[in-house]
Amino acid sequence: MNRTAAKPAFDSEQKARGSQAAPACSAHWTQRVTHRIASVVSGLGSRVSLPVVLAIALILRITTVLVYPIIQKATSLSHGSDGYEYVAAMLAAGHGYRFAEDLGETMFLPPVYPLFLTFLFLFAGPSLLVATVAQALLDTASCFMVYILGKRHGGHQTGIFGSLLYALYPGAWIGCSRYLTEPLFIFLILGFLVFLSGFVRSGGKRELFTAGLFGALAVLCKSVAGALPLFIIVCVPFLPGWRDCRRRVLAGLTVCLLMSVIAVAPWIYRNYKVSGSFVYPATSGGLALYTAHVYAAHPDQTIRTSVHQAAREVRQLAVDHGIRLDPRDTYPRWFYDARDEVKLDRITQLVARGQLAADPAGYVRHVSGNLWRFWWGAPSPKAIRISVLVNTPFMLLGAFGFLRARAWRHPDLCLCLAVATYLFLAHVGILAVVRYSLTVMPLVCLFSGMGFHWFCVRMGCGAASEQPPSVIEGDSGSCREVPEPRCSHR
């Protein structure tokens, strides 16, 4: 009796399964290939451990450091010096913060990166290899921070995907192989994001203090970060992800801003003692603005040609105003007197502003050009083609992940979005080259990891996930994480 009654039910179940399997068998081959790729990618994300990703990141960066002389010949890149290693060598030898022993103390460079090199030079001597290996280690630590940010929002797979993509990003390999502030700056910015988002989640004072410390060091590493906390404060009312925890976000950012001001104050006082003038935080702004004017006036020139022309014209301005420059440096940044350094900085700013104001259409063209130069602008046509091939896939995947995750709706991602937007806009308004996009690419890779995660969920579960695996909810004073139900596979 029971067997007879069960048979029709069994038959109907088999028919139902058959009717579901038929479309799957007749599915287009592209769907099957896509599903197979999603399965492989999902398996990779679930099986690859964080130590493996970090090992991959370190090996790739160290390898690039060792073979960089070959890359340098192929791409016409320099070893990236803005003079940091000269100042570090002088500090290590006890001659003060200057480019050469017979020159005046300089204010051209913020202090954190030269001090970082000085620490290395004290133990290993002036060596590009030692500095670049240390930067490779720092950038590997940055991969770990990308993992933390991804895991907090989307779980282990999202963190692994984001970290692995940044580990595989060739621009970071090249950045670690030169005397550039970017590897250290990226580490500091990601530390700021990790600990500030931790404070927004938990309200812990230790996380807030650490975030403020990372933010203050970032300002003293690259002066472009000076207004970062203020910019995020302005963004708070407009980003819906902070709707339920605006008070905590504003409180944390205010503390970070105050800590940055306190950290920069001794450096400003030092600059005043050296030059007799208020300098915040460096004297490189005038030269950067004048170079932007040359870009705007000669849009048909390559970046390298415009930089060289700006240097020649600024040197002529120095001669016209009786400012004595060191002939050993073709780029106008080595001075015998710190007062001359401040004087030339202000003259170049005044001249550049006047010329840009006289040609507003040229400045608009310059800014519109910076929109692509930030991502692809390089010194030579060959380097531009390489930038397009390397950066474009990461940007497209990052945009896809950003949209699928609806980043503007989540507190952690709102913070990442605000930082990336600020770093982009700060350079687009004045001077933009592909080197500066290095600071944004870890966040692009983070969003790319979210795109990968959504792709795997979509293919594996058969339905799109409208939100990432975790959303942040809370009341007016706090945020808490609420995990979404996971997809179950038969």
pLDDT of residue 38: 52
Return the HEC string of the chain: CHHHHHHHHHHHHHHHHHHHHHHHHCCCHHHHHHHHHHHHHHHHHHHCCHHHHHHHHHHHHHHHHHHHHHHHHHHCCCCCCCCHHHHHHHHHCCCCCCCCCCCCCCCCCCCHHHHHHHHHHHHHCCCHHHHHHHHHHHHHHHHHHHHHHHHHHHCHHHHHHHHHHHHCCHHHHHHHCCCCCHHHHHHHHHHHHHHHHHHHHHCCHHHHHHHHHHHHHHHHHCHHHHHHHHHHHHHHHHCHHHCCCHHHHHHHHHHHHHHHHHHHHHHHHHHHHHHCCCCCCCCCHHHHHHHHHHHHHCCCCCHHHHHHHHHHHHHHHHHHCCCCECCCCCCCCCECCHHHHHHHHHHHHHHHHHHHHHCHHHHHHHHHHHHHHHHHCCCCHHHHHHHHHHHHHHHHHHHHHHHHHCHHHCHHHHHHHHHHHHHHHHHHCCCCCHHHHCCCHHHHHHHHHHHHHHHHHHHHHCCCCCCCCEEEECCCCCCEEEECCCCCCC
> Quick one: pLDDT at residue 483?
43
Tens-binned pLDDT, residue by residue, of the chain (490 aa): 444 444 444 344 444 444 444 444 444 655 555 555 555 555 555 567 899 999 999 999 999 999 988 877 766 677 776 889 999 999 999 999 999 999 999 999 999 999 999 999 999 888 889 999 999 999 999 999 999 999 988 888 889 999 999 999 999 999 999 999 999 999 999 999 999 999 998 889 999 999 999 999 999 999 889 899 999 999 999 999 888 889 999 999 999 999 999 999 999 999 999 999 999 888 888 899 999 999 888 888 888 888 889 999 999 999 999 999 888 888 888 999 999 999 999 999 999 999 989 988 888 988 999 999 999 988 778 888 889 999 999 999 999 999 988 888 898 899 999 999 999 999 998 888 899 999 999 999 999 999 887 777 776 543 333 344 444 443 344 454 444 434 333 3
**Boundaries of every domain in the chain:** 52-472
